[in-house]
Amino acid sequence: MRHVFPCRTPALDFVGTLQARRRQTPDERIGSPGRLDAWFVQSGLLDKEPGSDAADLRAALALREAIYSLARARIDGRPLPAGAVTTVNRQAAGTPVATFLCPGGARRLGTASQALTDLAREAVEVFAGEESALLRECGHPDCTQVYLDRSRGRRREWCAMRTCGNRAKAAALRARRRR
């Protein structure tokens, strides 16, 4: 499975692994240990699949939902939920991915738990820092991707123009033509 990374912020891209959250049956993109492993590699967190198991998948899903809960709270101007804070902090306290300098560049090796620690640490940086004021959720009705709006006017509506933005603009054009 090919994963997408519209945010260029792995912790927020990780939230997008559950697509169309508002639908009755959302699309789970990391519903197996193998898919979780593929996400780790495709995101660049790890250079090779760590061999995740069911416990790693449960931990990943819990972390993803905690990050989403924190994002929604920041976007809505509410206090951060204590349970989500605890989940992220507990994972962030773990051992991070090991990075090695090699003749061909850097190598990133580790376990699923270490990759989740890197995601949690990045989430801490996002939610504790000034950039948390830039958090947005995609305006496309079927997308619940969260992102940091670093656009000049801070009026970005979609997680990515090439996907949700194009779909929304095409739908608006079709609606105008029907009238």
Query: Helix (H, G, I), strand (E, B), or coil: what is residue 147?
Result: strand
Q: What does the chain come to in residues? A: 179
Rounded CA separation 123/70 (Å): 9
Q: How would you write the pLDDT of the chain (179 residues) with one tens digit per residue?
A: 677 777 789 999 999 999 888 888 999 999 999 999 999 999 999 999 999 999 999 999 999 999 999 999 999 999 999 999 999 999 999 999 999 999 989 999 999 999 999 999 999 999 999 989 999 988 777 787 898 888 787 777 777 767 776 676 777 777 788 88
Helix (H, G, I), strand (E, B) or coil at 167: helix
Q: Do residues 134 and 154 touch, judged by C-beta distance below 8 A?
A: yes
pTM: 0.89
